[in-house]
Structure 1
Amino acid sequence: MPVNTQAGEPRRPPFNAEAARRLREALGMTPAHVAYGIWAAFGMRTAPETVASWERGESSPSEAELTALAGALWCTPGELLGAPGTLREYRLALGLAPVDLARRIGMEASAYERLEAGGKWRGNDRQAAALAEVLRLPLPALLRFTGRDEKLAELLTSAATTRWQAYVRPVGKLVPLPRQQIQGVLRDLHGEYQATMTATLNWGDGGSAEESGRAGRALLDDIVAEFWARTGRQDP
């Protein structure tokens, strides 16, 4: 169901309406009780009809409203969110303000806010490690947020299309996984790609050759996702 937002309003968190309703009912509260709790604890005037609208998925709370709703329902903001996909959503899931997160990872607040708005990662390895620890980021998400997934894609593409053995160490520097696991995945990706492209030669100019060529290109297009899937580290 579409969520109503005001024109020009910042993108709202991925609200889990069903979780909000379930948590409220478990506490034996009505939407009016929740609305009162939001006002009493956070000073935010919220109509019971608004709370009910959130639960029906007709609208969703803003970041401030989400924090207040979590307080009224005695839960964490993360319990009211769907699976996080952006840096902002990971932060909201833990109920952290941008300035607090920036302080904990040793970054200027303005620099972090630019990053969350879609800017490029300008931090160092220590800050990246702190970001992963504070936000409990899966490895694929960390590489994506720090802009290293593009380099990973280049390395994986080269491994699949040339000599995979030469890329075990470079990939290992980028992705802290066991060397043996990386070797196995690169070998498999290389073997699958080469077998697909060999099929295009065997079939000549027929439709099967074209189909094999498409399969090979598709593998390269999704090679980062394939890599994470084969290492058991899918990106949410």
Structure 2
Amino acid sequence: MWPVRRPRALPNQPGPPFNAPAAQRLRAALGMGPEHVARDLRASYGMPYATPDLVIAWERGALTPTSSELTSLAGVLWCSQGELIGQPRTLREHRIARGLAPDDVARTLGLELAAYLRMEETGDWRGTDRQAAVLAALLDLSIPDFATVTGRDPKLAELLRSAVTTRWQAYVRPVAKLLPLDRRLLEVTLQELYDDYQGRMVATLSWGGGSDGSDRSGREFLDRILDLFWTRVSDRSPGV
């Protein structure tokens, strides 16, 4: 067996989420063995360290390809990079999944390349609302992904916690300013979350759980508030 050795990944350049089962499935569909993939990576893509064991390690999830390795692997397997990427989480991962170069995204957004790359590396979105809308269209982001990539999750979670613990009606407008969602959908969702939270608090006390049990139930609900919000929104608007 060939040893698995490769150069250390560059700082601040982790590989995107890798869909290991998809890589194995695509290789098998082409009738290639790991040794064939490794040979093509060495011969055609300038990866002298590529071995069958490295390919197997990728497919088993023991190692994740770097961005450059992923590009090369996609070339060997005759597929797009997006087919080898798992669920994107960050701005950089969404860009890679769409097969876009950073300078193309920066140019479309009207940003200097260095400024855009800083946003990718730090996860700190500094663009305007107009640029955020262009970004969402360019990367085909769902609304939950849009909120995550543009750094709106913490503010959204804060608003939602306040909505379910005080008066939900006062938070429809602030949430609407963060997210491009129908106002009526927001009203129904916030009211449901409020009713659910308040009902849990009352039920815990009525079951004899005491204030400690009520506090614990409330904290668990508030900790999951983002997931609960998006689940309710998706149930009422499946396309979101």
Which TM-score band applies after superposition, normalised by the shorter structure? Answer: 0.7 to 0.9
| Aligned partner of 2:178 among 170, 174, 183 | 174
Q: Which amino acid aligns with 1:212?
A: S
For structure 2, the 5+ residue unaligned runs are none
Q: CA RMSD in A?
A: 2.7
Q: Is the 8 A contact 1:4 1:60 kept in 2?
A: no
| Aligned partner of 1:51 among 32, 35, 55 | 55
Q: Is the 8 A contact 2:107 2:113 kept in 1?
A: yes
Number of residue pairs aligned between Structure 1 and Structure 2: 230
**2:135 maps to 1:127:** no
Q: Distance in 2 between matches of 1:58 and 1:148?
A: 33
| Aligned partner of 1:161 among 165, 173, 178 | 165
1:100, CA displacement in angstroms?
2.4
Deviation per CA, 1:34-71: give whole Å up to 9, x if none. Answer: 23433454333333342233223332321101001101
**2:149 maps to 1:106:** no
Q: 1:117 aligns to what SS in structure 2?
A: helix
Q: Distance in 1 between matches of 2:119 and 2:10?
A: 20
| Aligned partner of 1:67 among 71, 85, 90 | 71
Q: 2:64 aligns to what SS in structure 1?
A: coil
Deviation per CA, 1:161-199: give whole Å up to 9, x if none. Answer: 222222222222222222221111111111122223345
Q: Which amino acid aligns with 1:59?
A: L
Q: Partner of 1:85 in structure 2?
A: 89
Q: Distance in 1 between matches of 2:232 and 2:24?
A: 37
Q: Partner of 1:226 in structure 2?
A: 228
Distance 1:169 1:72, change over 3 A: same
Q: 1:92 aligns to what SS in structure 2?
A: helix
Deviation per CA, 1:124-157: give whole Å up to 9, x if none. Answer: 0121112111222221121122222222223222
1:223, CA displacement in angstroms?
1.7
Equivalences for residues 208-227 of structure 1 within 5 A: 208-227=210-229
Q: Partner of 2:35 in structure 1?
A: 32
Q: Using structure 1 for the length normalisation, give the TM-score.
A: 0.84
| Aligned partner of 1:140 among 138, 141, 144 | 144
| Aligned partner of 1:42 among 30, 40, 45 | 45
Q: Which moved more, 1:42-51 or 1:135-144?
A: 42-51
Q: Is the 8 A contact 1:4 1:59 kept in 2?
A: no
Q: Distance in 2 between matches of 1:112 and 1:70?
A: 25
Q: Distance in 2 between matches of 1:196 and 1:60?
A: 42
Q: Distance in 2 between matches of 1:129 and 1:119?
A: 17
Q: 2:99 aligns to what SS in structure 1?
A: coil
Q: Is the 8 A contact 1:67 1:95 kept in 2?
A: no
Q: Distance in 2 between matches of 1:115 and 1:231?
A: 28
Q: Is the 8 A contact 1:164 1:187 kept in 2?
A: yes
Q: Which amino acid aligns with 1:14?
A: P
Distance 1:201 1:117, change over 3 A: same
Q: 2:200 aligns to what SS in structure 1?
A: helix
Q: 1:14 aligns to what SS in structure 2?
A: coil
Q: Is the 8 A contact 2:123 2:149 kept in 1?
A: no
